[in-house]
Chains A and B, each alone.
Chain A
Amino acid sequence: MSRVALVTGGAGGLGRAIAGRLVAARVVVVIADLDGPGAARAAAALDGAQALTLDVGDEADVARGYAEVDRRFGRLDILVNNAGIMAAEAPPLEAMPLAVWERTLKVNLSGPFLMCRGAIPLMRRGAWGRIVNISSRAARTRSAAGDPAYPASKNALIGLSRVLANEVGADGITVNCVAPSTVETAMTRGQDVDYFARRAADTALGRLGTPDDVADAVAFLCGEAAGFITGAVLDVNGGSFMP
């Protein structure tokens, strides 16, 4: 039977590209998203993809989602934690309400924690697994992100990935991060007009990243060929920062 992948935030621009790339590698993909109709539309556009309505920040919802994956497939081989948010109108740190801070951490960090925790027993069954967490260039250097919780959450995601890589290596599960620079998606589209031009000018290649650029790196790390890579961070940023 084909390998089964779950991609969170799968209805968004990046998530759809990742799902598409995995489907092309003959993986059965579950497109999970808070936006159920969006997930259904994204799944309908891909051969062999299925939709799942899921709030990654909600413990009960994640448990329900995995029960559903177990019922449908009885296995999970690949988890891509792509769902993430950036508060649109976040104040500077000194004026930030705790609730705004915690909302970003809930989705960007507790979400992947819950998703990883639930994935491990399923991956252990097959003694094989790939977890790829979508971090950010904002976690690798000074960030232009308006929401201070965003780089904090994306840095913490790298820390979580390293701990998990160490914990589940013996089970044949690898855990890695991809750290993309700005990709034009619905999440970033609210930025001012010059923003994208500046981000493109930051790169050595003189262009913005595309969802496909990120998806290709994710697919590589999810493949058989990347079996000795774990705890690593792969920067997909056009040479805009070289950590």
Chain B
Amino acid sequence: MSGTRVALVTGAAQGLGRAIAERLAADDYAVAVADRAADAAWETAAVLRAVGAVAHAVTLDVGDEASVAAAYAEIDRRFGRLDVLVNNAGISGVRAPVERMALPDFETAIRINLTGTFLMCRGAIPRLRAGGGGRIVNMASMVARGQPGTDRANYTASKAGIIGLSRVLADRLGPDGITVNCVAPSRIETALTRAMAAGNPEHFAAAARLSPLGRLGTAEDVANAVAWFCSDGAGFVTGAVLDVNGGTTTP
């Protein structure tokens, strides 16, 4: 077990995070399936184990400093090492024009998406260093790549902040052999986003038309990009943002 690389994926119980966890498990990583939803995380870890992977569920609220510390303590105990951190957990936030956005609605998105990524990176650094290097992949978004989200100042600022944070970390952690990169997806079709758009089928069709490829992205499209950043072959790529948006925007 000590020879198996360990990947920690946040927000991994379902949707995008689950696809990333499955993809990394397929690449022979042992996976820490971290999520605020403990039962769902447990189920996802069980599904991964059923196909032969090493996986454990970890209950984690990325916006809570004590919860992050407890989760890392559990990962140390369960896995004894960390090689990859994928900061996928995030919320889309309450939508409102800035002049009518309540401060808590702004701060909640920043707290989970940006401060959560900060806390997770901060905890990962000594553990990645102990293994002689590693990979951090952070989830940005097309909204931070030239297509700002209407009435989404909270979400857009948080995702732009993640790119800035990643660049600082990339610069700082290069000498430790740790790469830090972002994936910036467009709207992705998952069970969750399908349910959200259930009453409005035109919603997805309109998003698909924005791409020259004429379709929405899938969780697997994003997971493949994350997995590439995590691979040995991507060792000279750091501080980069990879747009996975079907050509919707070309920043």
Q: Which A positions have Cβ atoms within 8 angstroms of B? A: 162, 165-170, 172, 174, 203-207, 209-210, 212-213, 216-217, 219-220, 225-239, 241-242
Q: Which residues in chain B, 84-129, are within 8 Å of chain A measured between CB atoms?
A: none
30 A-B pairs with CB atoms under 8 Å apart are: A169-B212, A174-B213, A174-B247, A204-B170, A204-B171, A204-B172, A205-B177, A205-B238, A213-B235, A213-B237, A216-B234, A217-B237, A220-B234, A225-B224, A226-B228, A227-B213, A228-B215, A228-B244, A228-B246, A229-B242, A230-B212, A231-B212, A231-B243, A231-B250, A236-B237, A238-B174, A238-B236, A239-B171, A242-B170, A242-B171
A229 touches B243 (CB 8 A): yes
Which residue on A lies nearest to B182, using beta carbons? A242
Q: Is B221 an interface residue (CB 8 A)?
A: yes
**In whole angstroms, how far apart are the Cα atoms of A242 and B169 in the complex?**
12
Q: Is B40 an interface residue (CB 8 A)?
A: no
B238 touches A230 (CB 8 A): no
Mark each residue of chain B from 187 to 222: 1 if its CB lies under 8 Å from any CB of chain A, else 0: 000000000000000000000000111110110010
A205 touches B240 (CB 8 A): no
Q: Is B18 an interface residue (CB 8 A)?
A: no
A239 touches B238 (CB 8 A): yes
Interface centre among A165, A230, A233 (most CB of B within 10 A): A230
A227 touches B221 (CB 8 A): yes
A169 touches B174 (CB 8 A): no
Residues of chain B within 8 A (CB-CB) of A205 are: 174-175, 177, 179, 235-236, 238
Q: A232-B243, A242-B170 are in contact. Are A216 and B233 (CB under 8 A)?
A: yes
**In whole angstroms, how far apart are the Cα atoms of A216 and B231 in the complex?**
10
Residues of chain B within 8 A (CB-CB) of A207 are: 236
* Chain B count of residues within 8 A CB distance of the other chain: 39
**In whole angstroms, how far apart are the Cα atoms of A226 and B183 in the complex?**
12
Q: Which residues in chain B, 161-179, are within 8 Å of chain A measured between CB atoms?
A: 167, 170-175, 177, 179
B237 touches A235 (CB 8 A): yes
Q: Is B239 an interface residue (CB 8 A)?
A: yes
Residues of chain A within 8 A (CB-CB) of B243 are: 229, 231-232
B170 touches A230 (CB 8 A): no
Interface centre among B171, B212, B243 (most CB of A within 10 A): B212
**In whole angstroms, how far apart are the Cα atoms of A239 and B229 in the complex?**
13
Which residue on A lies nearest to B227, using beta carbons? A225
Residues of chain B within 8 A (CB-CB) of A233 are: 250
Q: Is B60 an interface residue (CB 8 A)?
A: no
Which residue on A lies nearest to B237, using beta carbons? A236
B247 touches A166 (CB 8 A): yes
Residues of chain B within 8 A (CB-CB) of A236 are: 236-237, 240
Distance of B172 from chain A, by nearest CB (Å): 8
A217 touches B234 (CB 8 A): yes
Distance of A204 from chain B, by nearest CB (Å): 3
A239 touches B225 (CB 8 A): no
A206 touches B242 (CB 8 A): no
A169 touches B214 (CB 8 A): yes
Distance of A219 from chain B, by nearest CB (Å): 8
**In whole angstroms, how far apart are the Cα atoms of A128 and B71 in the complex?**
44
B213 touches A228 (CB 8 A): yes
A229 touches B211 (CB 8 A): no
Distance of A202 from chain B, by nearest CB (Å): 11
Residues of chain A within 8 A (CB-CB) of B14 are: none
A165 touches B214 (CB 8 A): no
A204 touches B174 (CB 8 A): yes
**In whole angstroms, how far apart are the Cα atoms of A209 and B247 in the complex?**
27
Q: A228-B218, A235-B237 are in contact. Are A242 and B167 (CB under 8 A)?
A: yes
Which of A168, A220, A237 sits near B228, CB closer than 8 Å? A220
A170 touches B244 (CB 8 A): no
Q: A169-B246, A220-B228, A226-B225 are in contact. Are A234 and B237 (CB under 8 A)?
A: yes
Q: A166-B212, A220-B233 are in contact. Are A230 and B240 (CB under 8 A)?
A: no
Residues of chain A within 8 A (CB-CB) of B214 are: 169-170
Distance of B106 from chain A, by nearest CB (Å): 26
